[in-house]
Amino acid sequence: MIKTARGFTLIEMAIVLIIITILIGGLAVPLSTQIQARRIAETNKTLEEAKEAIIGYAMTHKSTDGNQRPYLPCPDTDGDGREEARVTGMGTGPELDGSCPQSFGFFPWVDLGGAAHDAWGNRLRYVVTRKLTNRISGFSSSTDLNTGAWKNIASSNGCAPVNVAAGVPLVLVSHGPNGWGARNINGNTLAAPSSADENENLLGDNACYVARAPSKPGSAGGEFDDLVTWLPFGLLVSRACPAGCP
């Protein structure tokens, strides 16, 4: 008796393909979630390293008035990775002679030796209190400091109330996975954010920044996935002047 080989029927093949598709689909979602989580962790590490680089800058850059006080780096305003030259001949006032030309821009990764971008290929935003960038006088714990005019961190736009951190000298922002409003490594500025909370972190010389849990489009507070970190002034002074600022 001759036995004939039996192959798969079209129905059986279709069932197998459906099962494979379901299995692949089930694996794809967790994989994409893992990749996103890894990028978020990588960016948080990048932000912390940028903060450490700023502290290192303050430890090695001393004022020119003879007091040897530290000062903070200027933001990069044109995207070349270098801090902008300080303004001279401005006299007294909120923007003191010897301070940065503006308080906001990008993290100067070339001068400070940090990462050039976050895990999504976008520049880190860096905002600083201009008075603390004054290379003539520098700063110390005894400096006459109006922290009420510094940067505030809240869980919603408008900083009403300021319920995360008040009067911080500097803020670093990654615009997160969606990247709305960020400048990418090619020099292109991405579309503006649709939510008020993300837009708060995009404004120029702004006193308020938002740090909160992420939310999806259509949620009550709007879409939000920015990653924000800052440096308390007390910690800055203690790290920049381990033996005390003169």
Q: C-alpha 69: how far from its chain's center?
A: 26
**122, 152, 154 from 168: Cα distances, Å:** 24, 6, 12
Handedness of CA 138, 144, 146, 147 (dihedral sign): positive
User: Does residue 3 lie in a domain region?
Assistant: no
User: Does residue 2 lie in a domain region?
Assistant: no
User: Does residue 5 lie in a domain region?
Assistant: no
Q: What is the pLDDT of residue 31?
A: 72
Do you find a cis peptide bond into 70, omega within 30 degrees of 0? no
User: Does residue 86 lie in a domain region?
Assistant: yes
In angstroms, rounded to a whole number, what is the distance separating the alpha carbons of residues 172 and 126?
5
Find the distance separating the first CA and the last CA of the chain, reported in whole Å: 104
Contact 196, 206 (CB under 8 A): no
Task: State the residue range of the domain holding 211.
Answer: 10-240
User: Does residue 124 lie in a domain region?
Assistant: yes
User: Does residue 113 lie in a domain region?
Assistant: yes
User: Does residue 114 lie in a domain region?
Assistant: yes
- Domain count for the chain, please give it: 1
Q: Collapse the DSSP code of 124 into the 3-class scheme (helix H, G, I; strand E, B; otherwise coil) and give the result.
A: coil
**Model's pTM, two decimal places?**
0.85
Per-residue pLDDT of the chain (246 residues; tens, 9 = 90+): 555 555 567 777 777 777 777 766 665 567 778 889 999 999 999 999 999 999 999 999 999 998 899 999 999 999 999 999 998 765 555 456 889 999 999 999 999 999 999 999 999 999 999 889 999 989 988 766 666 678 999 999 998 899 999 999 999 999 999 999 999 999 999 999 999 999 999 987 788 999 999 999 989 889 999 999 999 998 999 999 887 777
Residue-by-residue DSSP string for 197-241: HHHHTT-SS-SEEE----B-TTSTT--B--EEEEE-HHHHHHHH-
Going by the DSSP 8-state scheme, the letter that residue 149 receives in this structure is G
**89, 96, 107, 240 from 71: Cα distances, Å:** 18, 13, 16, 9
Handedness of CA 185, 106, 54, 83 (dihedral sign): positive
**129, 173, 175, 208, 240 from 153: Cα distances, Å:** 14, 12, 16, 6, 23
Query: If 0-12 CB within 10 Å is exposed, 13-18 middle and 19+ buried, where does residue 207 land?
Result: middle
User: Does residue 203 lie in a domain region?
Assistant: yes
Which residues, at least 6 apart from 51, have a Cβ–Cβ distance to it below 8 Å? 172, 229, 231
Q: What is the pLDDT of residue 19?
A: 77
